[in-house]
Structure 1
Amino acid sequence: MEKERYRSSSSYFAKSKELLNVFIEYQLGGRIETLKTFCLDDLNWGSKFCNPEEETIWSFDCDNTALIRAIYVVLWGHVFNIKEGDIGAWSSDTKKSHPYRGDTVNSFNSLFGEQPYLHRAKNHGLDCDIRRWKDVLSFAWQYHTIGNFILLPNKGNLNCERGRKGDYFDLLLMDIAEYKKDIDYKDGVSAITENPYLLKTSFEELKDNFFLDPYFDDDNNPINLYGLTRKERGVRFLNQKKESYLEFVDKYVKKSEEIIAFRGQKMVEELKKVL
C-alpha cells in the first residue's frame, strides 16, 4: 500500500505511533535520538512496552515486544499493509501463526552462543582475551538496539530456516538472489519461495525500504560481507580452526556494529518525519 495512504487510514498505525510517542516522551525524556542506542533488554518486564502480543510472558523476545512492533508498523507497515495481529511468531497451527515476524539482522548466538553463557565464545578462550571479550560484550548490548531489527514475511517459518542455515543475513540475501534466477522454482522448496515478496521485490526496493545499503554493491547485488562460505562459517568448521574463528569474530563484530549504527540512524531519521 502507498505509504501516506496507509499512515492516514490505518488504525494500527495510529495506535503504534501513539505508543511510540509515549515511550519516547516518558522513557527517553523526549529525546528520540537516544532511541537508536536503547537496548530493548532494558524494557520493564510486564510493561505495556514489553508485553509480547498473544504470547505468554515467559516467551519474551526483544524482536516481538510491543515497542518494537510499534516501530515496525510506523516504519514498514505500509510495505505489507500490516494489520493488528499480523506480527508475531510462526506456528504450524495456522490459527496461531502470524504472516510477519520481527527478526534480528546480525545474529549473536550463531557465533558466540546464547546469553548469558556464551559457550561458543568461551570454548575459544574469548573470555581470556581482554580486547575481544570487551568487543563481544559491547556487541551483546548493541545486538538488541533498533538498528539490528527488521520486519520480514514469515510464511513457512523463514525465521527458523534462516537459523538452520547459519543465521547470517548476507547469506539470506544471496540465497534470495539464487532463487530469483530460477524462474521455475517450486513452492515449498524453501521458506523463501513461500514468501513472494522476497522474490518479486527488487533488491533496490528492499534495500531502500529496510536501510540495507551495506549488504549490496553499487548495482544492488547482494555481497558476501566476510568472503566466507556457509560451511566456513559453520560451527563444526570453526571449532576445528581457532585462528579462523578469531579472524571471523573480529570482522563480524566490526561490520555488525557498523551496520547497526547505520540502520539505527536511518530508522530514527525516518521516525522523526512521522512522530
Structure 2
Amino acid sequence: MSYNNVENFLKNCSKPQNYNFEFECDNGEYINLPSINRYFTYKATAPAMIDSAYITGKKFAEDIQNSGKYNQLGDCDGSGNTGNISLIHDVYFKLWGWKKDSSTFENNQDSGFRCQFGGDTMNSVQYILNDVVKEIINRQENKNLFDKKIGHFSINYLLGLYGDLECRKQLIKALNSVEYLSQYFNGYHTIGNFVLVPSYFNRWRGINGKVQDYWDFSLKHLKEEGWKDDFNNKGNNIKDYYRYINYFFLWGYVDDQGNCIELLKRNNDSIKNKEHFLEKVVKLIKNRSCFMIAMLRLQQKLGIKAYVKLREKVFLKDDGVYKNFDEVFEVLKELLGEDIINEIWNR
C-alpha cells in the first residue's frame, strides 16, 4: 500500500522513520525482494543496461525490461518524472516549501535562496558498492567472480554477475558478509536520506570523478566552490551555505564551523574502513529520519502558516550552523514549549 501524502503517512505508518520509499511503487513482486535484489532489479530497468558488454547482465536487463513488470519504478527522491513520487514531493512541500509544477526544478517558497532546487538522495549506493566489491572480489574464494571482470568495477559488471544465477548466489553471499551493507541498502531510501539540491547538482555530483556522488565531498564542494552563480557564488556567499545546512537539517554531516565531516577515509582501502563508513551513514540517516518525522508532525500540529513562520525564524539561520539536533530542539522548546516538542518526538 502506498501512502501518497504526508497525512496518510503519519497516520497509518507505524514507524515512518524506517519506511522505505521504494514501497511507494505498489509493486508487490518488487517489494518482496530482498533489498540488495531490489537494487539490481531497479538498475536493470535503465535502457542503457541492454547495451552492456556483459552478456548475462544484458540478458537480465532485457528480461526485466521486456517483462513490463517494473516499468513504473522511479527515483525515490522525486528527482525524476516516473514512479509514485507523490509522497516524497509532499514531504518536500511540507518541510521546505518546494512544490513541483511542470519542470524538474522549482524554487523553495520563502527560503531566501535564489537558486532552484530538485530532489536528491544524499548517500547513494553505486560508488560505495563498487568500492566494497573491489575488496571482497579480490578474496581467494571469489577469484572466479573477479576473473569475469572485463573493465572497471561498475554496475554493468555487477549486473553481469547478478544475471548469472550461479554467480548471483556467490555475489549475494559475499555482499551479505560485509557488515552494515544490508542496513545501508535498507536505509538509503528512507526519509532521512532525501534532500533538495541546487538545480543540476544532482547529476553533476554523480558523474564528477572527484566527488563520486559521496555526500561529504558534495557538501565540501558547495561550501568551498558554491554552485554556479546563484548558490554560494564561487564560495564567496557563505551565508547561502550556512542557510542550506540549517534549512535542510544537515547538522550531522558538518562540524560546528560548517565544515563537512569526512565519512570515508580515502587513503584506506580496507574493508573495515568501508564498514565503518556504512555504520556511520546508517546512523546519520536514522537520526535525520527521526528529526524529519518530528518536523512533519510539528507542521501538522501547527498548520502551514504557523510552521512557515517557525521555519523562517529557526531554519533560515545564515550566520553559522547549529551544532547538532539537540541544540535545535532546545531552540524549538524555547519558542513552543517543552510539552509540544515532547509530543512530536516521544512516539
**What range is the shorter-chain TM-score in?**
0.5 to 0.7
**Cα distance in 2 for residues equivalent to 1:145 and 1:104:** 10
Cα shift at 1:219: 1.9
Cα shift at 1:217: 1.5
Structure 2 residue 79 is matched with structure 1 residue 36: no
Cα shift at 1:132: 3.8
Match of 2:207 in 1: 164
Structure 2 residue 174 is matched with structure 1 residue 174: no
The match for 2:91 among 50, 71, 86 is: 71
Structure 2 gaps, min length 5: 28-69, 79-84, 107-114, 143-170, 301-347
The match for 2:10 among 24, 29, 34 is: 24
TM-score (norm 2): 0.51
**Cα distance in 2 for residues equivalent to 1:21 and 1:128:** 39
Match of 2:231 in 1: 196
**Cα distance in 2 for residues equivalent to 1:144 and 1:120:** 24
Match of 2:196 in 1: 151
Superposed, 1:210-225 pairs within 5 Å as 210-225=248-263
**Cα distance in 2 for residues equivalent to 1:58 and 1:172:** 29
The alpha-carbon distance between structure 1 residues 120 and 61, as it changes in their structure 2 partners (threshold 3 A), is: farther
Structure 1 gaps, min length 5: 1-17, 47-55, 91-97, 181-191, 233-242
What's the secondary structure of 1:196's corresponding residue? Answer: coil
Amino acid at match of 1:159: N
Structure 2 residue 285 is matched with structure 1 residue 260: yes
The 4+ residue runs of structure 1 with deviation greater than 3 A are 56-59, 86-90, 118-134, 197-204
Amino acid at match of 1:171: F
Asked if structure 2 preserves the Cα contact closer than 8 Å seen for 1:63 and 1:104, the reply is yes
Cα shift at 1:20: 1.2
Aligned length: 204
Name which one, 1 or 2, has greater alpha-carbon Rg. Answer: 2
**Cα distance in 2 for residues equivalent to 1:196 and 1:263:** 23
Mean Cα deviation higher: 255-264 or 133-142: 133-142
TM-score (norm 1): 0.63
The match for 2:75 among 55, 58, 61 is: 61
Amino acid at match of 1:36: Q
**Cα distance in 2 for residues equivalent to 1:62 and 1:121:** 29
Asked if structure 2 preserves the Cα contact closer than 8 Å seen for 1:111 and 1:120, the reply is no
Q: Root-mean-square deviation (CA), in Å? A: 3.3
Structure 2 residue 247 is matched with structure 1 residue 209: yes
Structure 2 residue 122 is matched with structure 1 residue 100: no
Asked if structure 2 preserves the Cα contact closer than 8 Å seen for 1:87 and 1:100, the reply is no
